[in-house]
Structure 1
Amino acid sequence: MQSFTSAIKNGYIEANSETIVFEKTDNTPGVITEQWFTGIFDERTIVLQWLKKTPTLLGIPSGSHTRQARILLCPFFLIIKKKHSEGPFCVFAFLTNWQSPQKKKIASGGLYNTYRIPFLSSIKIGAFCIDLKNNNTKKKICKKITIENWQAGTFWYIVRGVTNYPIILGDLQLPANGRLYLYKNENVELEPDEFIALANISGTAGALFGVTIQANSTDYNYLEACMRVKIDSQTNYQFLSSGTEDFFLSAYYFDRGLYHDDNAGCTFLDGKGAMSAYKFFSRDPILFTKGLQLVWRCGETDDSNGCPTSFNPDGTRRKRTPRVQLANTLVTTYTWVYQYTLN
């Protein structure tokens, strides 16, 4: 094992061009262990990854002070290109303004994470600047990577890693062939009680790393939803939570307000119906050997498909009173999963 590190001071990103901030091409496997950046920009960004020639939009930063910038924060693109034998896969570079031991926003705009991002033989990281005031621009980036209104900017950047380094999740050492994948739903409008799969994985082993949900509705009644999971060949769901805010280790519709804890946090709450929250699984691992189905829904029901509730002496479910009135909810979810092959 050997550490590698690189830094850029007063770097400048030209408009309409890619700036390579780090490249390692010595055909040695390794793991990115820390990344940090700051820059002189406005408050709009997305994080982007390219694998081979396939671009993937990553990360929805949240926690901005304005509604327009709530989704896109800090104008910095991060692009990772990696060579490997398994084919394209998705990993995550930055989520800004989410504070935990693995990702933090420092005063005056410094941002870092300590996600373990493994690569097989080489890695290339690049940066872009862009003004995303126009919603149509964001949509084009998500779909076709047609980018308008590029802007130049100055940045500072640090990246660090170790070659031939183990992939550690909490106190678990994952197999060396593990890779970090991203599963996402973007701007999906759910009807009341409708289900949505956050990840549907088959034919591989793995470990759930993190989940983020951003939702917006006319109220917070959709938070009654329980998180569900099927592991391997299970036919029935197991319940990961008794409600959405409970899944993120809060309660009573996030009445605690914003918080940024080690395992979970709520990074945006407008008091009307919009929220954004994260949950890591490094201290309470969710592992699978054959597959994983992670499911959420818009609200909850009292029938057999609903979250378990108190039972009457005769075994029937006790009705919740009153039954909340649900509205359509706009949802974006990001789920990161380490996937690997067991020997």
Structure 2
Amino acid sequence: MMSPVSVPVVTALSTVLCLVASAVPLGQQKTFGHAIKNGNLPPNTDVTTFEHRCTVPPCVITHVNVPSIYPKGGDAWNWTQGHVFFFVDGEKQPSISLTLLELAGEGHWNLAGTNAQSGDHMPDGSPWGTSLMGRTAKSGGVYSTLRVPFGKSIRTAIRAPASATQDSVFWFVIRGLEAHVVRLGDLELPAAARLRLHRLSPTKLEKLQLVDLASSPKGTSGALVRVQLDARSGSFGFLEACMRFFPDGAGEDEPIFLSSGAEDYFLGASYFDEGMFKTSQAGLTYFNRSSYTLAAYKTHIEDPVLWRDGMRLRFRNCEDTEGCGDVNHCPNKFCSAAASESSARSTEELPRAGAQHLKRERGSDAGDLAEYSALVFSYEWPRETSNFDDRRAMQVSALRNLGNLVSKAKLNEALEDAATDRILEGEEGVLSLLLAFSQDLSEEAAKRLARQLARRIQQTERLTQI
């Protein structure tokens, strides 16, 4: 006889089966979008370019393209300083506000092209582009495929450069998908994930001064997406700085070092001795050796940097290198956890490669002061959502393995019902057993799993009766 299944368990089973089914098949996705040609753009005015209400969540913007903003009436051609805005899920103020250059991943040093400029003569080396972003014309041609997720609604708007005194003309293209989850590389993000911007306004730093480029509060989980840095100084000494990441409440002596120098973080070397480059992983979009000025980006789509309970992303001007590494020192060796805990730094015993030992001779202290501005893109969601999704994923995988086992006729109905109850109740032993085996069970593995599952359930039933 089949064992009775309680109403709460039946309800929970229905919920989990719906969640399994919510991995929406390709046929459920639906494209939406719009384009505007020769749009009128009055000065000092936000013009709505698109609105959409999500009918089958999650929904996501997949493509934004702004061919250009043309001035009229003798206004300066400063399209680079035009803005686009994203109002997510009914926001009164946009959580995402970007200049057209920032949308393309470029630094604010870059200017609009002129008729005398093209190709290699452009200050950013454009035209250029990757799968994520680019700038394909001296008049604009900026685009982004960075996903902007939403659950209820999206509204986008555009604004002319602040220098505009007359109406401008603009072009705009946007597309997206309904019933489509956001993926970061090979990671599927929770439906609650939203794109966030962390902006550091131009900030001057003394030598060895630290600054947070981005931070997320405790209770927030997330992933870095893209880091853009604009920097200038009196020398390239600031490029000695190592990028530090403090996830999940890590202390000052517990940073994860994301680089062995600034240009290293942006996948360059030796103070960018080959000049500008742009790849899907990183790029240098502005580089002036004579004024020690640059703009660079690093993506973290194929190189995930994650946190579960808040974070800080910290950079500095120049560097001090010593020992195992901490908030004030970039490491010059690897230390095991035990060695790091017992290590007591001594300036007499350890070599120092601080600000006075750079990759090149500086010749003066003109580079001691550096100016940074930064834009950090991240996906973020409440930590509770992350924990729920982890538990849900475990239950879904366990139920699939259980279904596979039943299909091979290795379980009777009573054992199947009992195992289902324990999966939905989160019983660790049954979950561990079912998750330890792949879904592609061999005949022998299926027999072993069924036997161990029966043993575990019998043990828990005996314990319950005591």
What range describes the TM-score normalised by the shorter chain of this pair?
0.7 to 0.9
Are 2:83 and 1:47 equivalent residues in the alignment?
Answer: yes
Query: Residues of 2 paired with 1:241 and 1:171: CA distance?
Result: 23
* Aligned with 1:248 (options 266, 273, 280): 266
**Which moves more between the two structures, 198-207 or 214-223?**
198-207
Q: Per-residue deviation at 1:70?
A: 2.2
**CA offsets, 1:249-287, max 9 Å, x none?**
001111110111110000011102111000000011011
Query: Bigger shift: 19-28 or 34-43?
Result: 19-28
- Residues 104 and 112, structure 1, Cα contact 8 Å, conserved in 2: yes
Kindly provide the CA deviation profile for residues 96-127 of structure 1, in whole angstroms up to 9, marking residues without a partner as x. 98732100112353111101001121111111
Distance 2:100 2:372 in 1: 12
Q: Which residue of 1 aligns with 2:137?
A: 107
Partner of 1:145: none
* 71 and 331 in structure 1: CA distance in 2 versus 1, 3 angstrom threshold: farther
Using the size of structure 1 for normalisation, the TM-score is: 0.79
Question: Quick one: which amino acid aligns to residue 297 of structure 1?
Answer: R
- 1:176-195 to 2 correspondences below 5 Å: 176-195=191-210
Contact 1:15 1:129 (8 Å CA) reproduced: yes
After superposition, the CA RMSD in angstroms is 2.7
1:163 and 1:262 mapped to 2: Cα distance?
26
Once residues 27 and 105 of structure 1 are traced to their aligned partners in structure 2, the CA distance between those partners, rounded to angstroms, is 33
For the 8 Å contact 1:98–1:267, the answer to whether it is kept is no
User: Where do residues 260-271 of structure 1 align in structure 2 (5 Å cutoff)?
Assistant: 260-271=278-289
Equivalent of residue 287 in structure 1, options 300, 306, 311: 306
User: What is the CA distance between 1:173 and its match in structure 2?
Assistant: 1.0
Superposed, 1:251-330 pairs within 5 Å as: 251-271=269-289, 272-303=291-322, 305-309=328-332, 316-320=349-353, 322-324=356-358, 325=365, 326-330=367-371
Q: Are residues 287 and 98 of structure 1, via their aligned partners in 2, closer, same or farther at CA, if it must alter by over 3 Å?
A: farther
Unaligned regions of 5+ residues in structure 1, if any? 75-95, 133-148
Q: Which of 49, 52, 70 is the equivalent residue of 1:24? A: 52
Q: Which residue of 1 aligns with 2:121?
A: none
Per mean C-alpha deviation after superposition, the further-off stretch among 216-225 and 49-58 is: 49-58
The verdict on how the C-alpha distance between 1:247 and 1:329 changes in structure 2, with shifts beyond 3 A counting, is same
Q: Which amino acid aligns with 1:178?
A: A
SS of the residue aligned with 1:110?
strand
How far did 1:27 drift?
Answer: 5.5
- Please give the secondary structure, in 2, of the residue aligned with 1:125: strand
Deviation at 1:59, TM superposition (A): 4.9
| Deviation at residue 241 of structure 1 after TM alignment | 0.3
Pairwise CA distance, 1:220: 0.9
Gap change, CA 1:298 and 1:210, over 3 Å in 2: same
CA offsets, 1:172-224, max 9 Å, x none? 11011100111111111111100011112121111111101101111111000
8 Å Cα contact 1:97/1:111 also seen in 2: no
Equivalent residue number for residue 197 of structure 1: 212
Does the residue aligned with 2:66 lie in a helix, a strand or coil? strand
Larger RCO, structures 1/2 (Cα 8 Å, 6+ apart): 1
Change (3 A) 1:122 1:72: farther
Where is the helix percentage greater, Structure 1 or Structure 2?
Answer: 2
Q: Does 1:238 align with 2:256?
A: yes
Partner in structure 2 of residue 36 of structure 1: 65
Q: Which moved more, 1:230-239 or 1:321-330?
A: 321-330
- Bigger Rg over Cα: 2
Could you say which structure has the higher strand fraction?
Answer: 1
Are the aligned partners of 1:130 and 1:150 in contact in 2 as well (CA < 8 Å)? no
Q: Which amino acid aligns with 1:101?
A: S
**Pairs aligned (count):** 300
Matched, 1:209 2:225: yes
> Could you say if the C-alpha distance between residues 151 and 169 of structure 1 is closer, same or farther in structure 2, counting changes exceeding 3 Å?
farther
Q: Scaled by the length of structure 2, what TM-score is found? A: 0.59
Show CA shifts across 1:39-58 (max 9, x none): 22423414353653436653
Q: 1:71 to 1:196 in 2, by over 3 A?
A: farther
In 1, are the aligned partners of 2:196 and 2:377 still within 8 Å (CA)?
yes
Equivalent pair of 1:228/1:238 in contact (CA under 8 Å): yes
SS of the equivalent of 2:129 reads: coil
Structure 2: distance between partners of 1:175 and 1:61 = 29
Residue 317 of structure 1 and its aligned partner are, at CA, apart by 2.6
Q: Distance in 2 between matches of 1:333 and 1:59?
A: 13
**Structure 1 residues 283, 164: closer, same or farther in 2, change over 3 A?**
same
State whether residues 178 and 338 of structure 1, in contact with CA within 8 Å, keep that contact through their aligned partners in structure 2. Answer: yes
Give the whole-Å Cα distance in 1 for the aligned partners of 2:202 and 2:127: 20
1:227 and 1:240 in contact (8 A); partners too: yes
The answer to whether the 8 Å contact 1:8/1:156 transfers is: yes
Q: Which residue of 1 aligns with 2:109?
A: 70
The structure 2 residue matched to 1:58, chosen from 98, 113, 136, is 98
Match of 1:318, SS? coil
Identical pairs, percent: 32
| Pair 1:323–1:151, CA change in 2 (3 A) | farther
SS at match of 2:101: coil
Amino acid aligned to 1:333: A
- CA drift of 1:5 comes to 1.8
